Chain A
Amino acid sequence: MRKNEEVWPWEDKYGDYALVPVPKKETRSLLTMFYTYTGVLCCIAALWGGSVLGLQFYLKDAIWVAVVGSAILAVIGGLTAPIGGISRCSTYVNLRPAFGNVGSQVWGTIVSGIPALGWFTVQTWLFGIIMSTIFPEAPWATVFWASIWGGILMLITAYIGFRGLAFFSYLAVPFFMLLAGFGVMIGVQQGGGFAGLASIAPASPVPFGVGVTEVVGMYVVGAIITADICRFAKKIWHGAAAWAIQLMILQVYMLSGAAAITLVTGEANIAGALLAAGAGIGAFLMAILGQWSTNDNNIYSTSLAINLWAPIQRKYIVLIAGAIGVALAALIARVWGAAMEPFMAFLTLLGTFLPAAGGVLIADFWLYRWYKGVPLRERYQFQPGTKFGKVNWIGWFSAIVATVLGKWVIPESWGIMCLTCLILGVVLYIVIAIACDKAGAKMDLGEHTIDKTGA
């Protein structure tokens, strides 16, 4: 039995174990991990990502791009998920050793709090677009109004917490996956069978690496914050396994399916294509359930990140941040209408700036603790009274320099930009940390002691 299971010395003041380890009795099965992760994956934006591949590659190449991109994401998530499984804490609490207490607040907000809120906004706006496509004449389904009521719906399960997310994923995941399969069948039928589909030339071909970058960039944030979900896993390996399975099977399936439909129809709007092909109410439900099961996770992650410095109940953060996100989505709908450019620009931005912090976290947990001789299961075992630096300057320095180098110095042709940033984050952190350790230099500035509420 692990140390923090014998006695659970914490007080869950902010709700849903936002700042404290999840107690053993609250852990859930591998199936729940799988459903909840897949719930994040099941969204129209992921299908749009596949549609982009359909515009750029032959079907066979699109499948390979999806496989390689998903494998890279599986490795990244495979490194971050066990951190949550061992510590049973959220990503932002886990950032404390590598960035310091203030560092975890700042970086948690930068790495996940703001981007996840941005994702929530974009997905809410996307929901509005899909509704207006399906019901072009209905006044309640304009991009503006659908963004508002859709966004409010999505806040419900995030407000409840992990149980709400998992419950909704149970309902939405099989539905979404089968409807995506339905879409593939429509595509294959219209394309003249599997042989005909394979021979359709893409409209705007790009190099293989560009496609892989798009796939990785699309979900790299999710790969870094896997701990938010798998801290609830019964066993340490459950999170990594669930993460890898959903990527290697379901993400590949979804991206390839969407690419197939786009190759046949030239249509990037999957819900619209499904409706045109006779999917009926299924297209409508697919839009609602898919966007909902993804977007509740976004605002949930935002609430966990912000809870690190905002001493109020997590559910109230969901409401406040959610209101901001819904208002922004409605504003985007007013300003940009149904244009795709803001979405694509947002994806590019995410793929560039966020992974370095994940690299630092991975380096601190897997390499630096190993170098210090800490056994795997004893790493990140936080207790009331555990001391952290206020700022771990090596974490800050490594993440900033890695991002600057990956974004502006190293040519894009050298590899996948977000992966470059992540690897640079790992290398810089471990090299500087070991050098400081050998030289006897301090990593931490100031000191913070956590109390029994985890604050």
Chain B
Amino acid sequence: MEFKRYVKISSGIILIFPIVLLVLAAVAWSQNVFTGIVYLAIGIIQLVGMALIFPRISKEEDLWELGNKCVQHNWIVLSLGLTGCAMFLAPFFTEGVGTAVPYVAFAVCLVTLLWSIFNLYKAVREAKARLIV
């Protein structure tokens, strides 16, 4: 099934971004443990939220159900991406750490945000999934 393949590949690529956030969390942690915790929280939730899609769709043959599951997981990634975009450039994150780490984190979140929006669009269009599942 073409859509299932797309979901698997797309989700696999998205998984890279929270891993980047976890690396950034490690860097930030050494400078300011409290900002490190926030990076860590967003990274872990995105990672787990997206990783769980694989066992859930592995045996799914119904296109509509597949689309609905895709929508569920991408909503999590989307909302966390939005959160990261709104937070990481705040002064709290740049103090003492410099601007490089927060800007990379912002870019990572922006990519996941846009990608998940596209995935939602694909799921609704191709699998006729519901946006509210």
Q: Which residues of A contact B (CB under 8 A)?
A: 28-29, 31-32, 163, 166-167, 170-175, 178-179, 181-182, 185-186, 188-189, 277-282, 285
Q: Do A280 and B91 form a contact, CB below 8 Å, given A185-B37, A185-B38? A: yes
User: Shortest CB–CB separation between residue B14 and chain A, in angstroms?
Assistant: 16
- What residue in chain B is nearest A163 (Cβ atoms)? B132
Q: Kindly state the separation between the CA atoms of A185 and B34 in the bound complex, as whole angstroms.
A: 5
Q: Given A186-B34, A188-B34, A279-B92, are A167 and B83 neighbors across the interface (CB < 8 Å)?
A: no
Residues of B whose CB lies within 8 Å of any CB of A are 32, 34-35, 37-38, 41-42, 45, 68, 72, 75-76, 78-80, 82-83, 86-87, 89-93, 95, 131-133
What is the distance, in angstroms, from A247's C-beta to the closest C-beta of chain B?
20
The interface residues of chain A lying within 8 Å CB-to-CB of B79 are 170-175
The 8 closest A-B pairs by CB, nearest first: A280-B90, A278-B91, A278-B92, A185-B34, A174-B79, A175-B83, A189-B34, A166-B132
Given contacts A29-B72, A278-B91, contact A174 B83 (CB under 8 A): yes
Highest count of chain A CB atoms <10 Å: which of B35, B76, B133: B133
From B32, B68, B72, B92, contact of A182 by CB (8 A): B92
Q: If the complex has contacts A279-B87, A280-B91, A281-B90, are A174 and B45 also in contact, measured as CB distance less than 8 A?
A: yes
Evaluate contact between B34 and A278: CB separation under 8 angstroms.
no
Q: Is the CB of A28 within 8 A of B133?
A: yes
Give Cα distance in the complex from A227 to B132, angstroms: 19
Residues of A within 8 A of B72 (CB): 29, 31
Contact of A178 among B34, B35, B80, B90 (CB under 8 A): B80
Given contacts A174-B76, A174-B79, contact A182 B131 (CB under 8 A): no
17 A-B Cβ contacts within 8 A? Answer: A167-B131, A174-B45, A174-B79, A175-B86, A179-B87, A185-B37, A189-B32, A278-B91, A278-B93, A280-B89, A280-B91, A281-B86, A281-B89, A281-B90, A282-B86, A282-B87, A285-B86
Can you add 17 more A-B contacts, CB < 8 Å, to A171-B82, A178-B41? Answer: A31-B133, A32-B132, A163-B131, A163-B132, A167-B131, A170-B132, A174-B45, A175-B83, A179-B86, A181-B37, A182-B92, A277-B92, A278-B90, A278-B93, A279-B87, A280-B89, A281-B90
A189: chain B residues at CB < 8 Å are 32, 34
Q: Which of A31, A163, A170 has the most CB of B within 10 A?
A: A170
CA A173 – CA B92 in complex, angstroms? 22
User: A-B contact count, CB below 8 Å?
Assistant: 78
Given the interface pairs A182-B38, A278-B92, the reply to whether A28 lies near B87 with Cβ below 8 Å is: no
The answer to whether B92 touches A179 (Cβ under 8 A) is no
Q: Let me know if A278 and B87 touch, CB within 8 A.
A: no
Chain A residues closer than 8 Å to B89, beta-carbon distance? 280-281
- Nearest B residue to A174 by beta-carbon distance? B79
Q: Which residues of A contact B91 (CB under 8 A)?
A: 278, 280
Q: Which of A29, A182, A188, A278 contacts B133 (CB 8 A)?
A: A29
Query: Which residue in chain A gives the minimum CB-CB distance to B120?
Result: A170
Task: State A174–B82 Cα separation when bound (angstroms).
Answer: 9
Chain A hits for B32, CB < 8 A: 189
Q: How far is the CA of A281 from the CA of B106 in the complex (A)?
A: 13
Check A178–B87 contact: CB distance below 8 A: yes
Question: Bound complex: CA of A282 vs CA of B35, how far in Å?
Answer: 14
In the complex, which residues of chain B have a beta carbon less than 8 angstroms from the beta carbon of A185? 34-35, 37-38
Please indicate the chain B residues that have their CB under 8 angstroms from the CB of A279 in the complex: 87, 90, 92
Residues B132 and A28 in contact, CB atoms below 8 Å apart:
yes
Q: List, in ascending order, chain A residues with CB within 8 A of B92's CB.
A: 182, 186, 277-280
B90 touches A282 (CB 8 A): yes
Closest chain B CB from A57 CB (angstroms): 23
Residues of B within 8 A of A167 (CB): 131-132
The residue in A181, A185, A186 that gathers the most chain B C-beta atoms within 10 A of its C-beta is A185
B90 & A174 in contact (Cβ 8 Å cutoff): no
Q: How far does the alpha carbon of A31 sit from the alpha carbon of B72 in the complex, in Å?
A: 8
Cβ distance B128 to chain A, nearest Cβ, rounded Å:
14
Question: Shortest Cβ distance from A91 into chain B, in angstroms?
Answer: 21
What is the CB-to-nearest-CB distance from B19 to chain A, in angstroms, rounded to a whole number? 18
**How distant is the Cα of A166 from the Cα of B71 in the complex, in angstroms?**
13
* Chain A residues, Cβ within 8 Å of B93: 278
What is the distance, in angstroms, from B1's C-beta to the closest C-beta of chain A? 22
Measured between alpha carbons, how far is A167 from B89 in the docked complex, in Å?
Answer: 26
Q: Is the CB of A179 within 8 A of B83?
A: yes
| B46 to A, closest residue via Cβ | A174
Q: How far is the CA of A178 from the CA of B34 in the complex (A)?
A: 13
Contact of B83 among A32, A166, A178, A280 (CB under 8 A): A178
Does B82 contact A175, Cβ atoms closer than 8 Å?
yes
Q: Which residue, A167, A175, A181, A277, has most C-beta atoms of chain B within 10 A?
A: A175
Residue with the greatest number of chain B CB neighbours at <10 A, chosen from A166, A279, A280: A280
Shortest Cβ distance from A275 into chain B, in angstroms? Answer: 9
* Chain B: CB-nearest residue to A162: B132
User: In the bound complex, what is the Cα–Cα distance between A32 and B37 (angstroms)?
Assistant: 27
Query: A279 CA to B132 CA in the complex, in Å?
Result: 30
B82 partner residues in chain A, CB cutoff 8 A: 171, 175
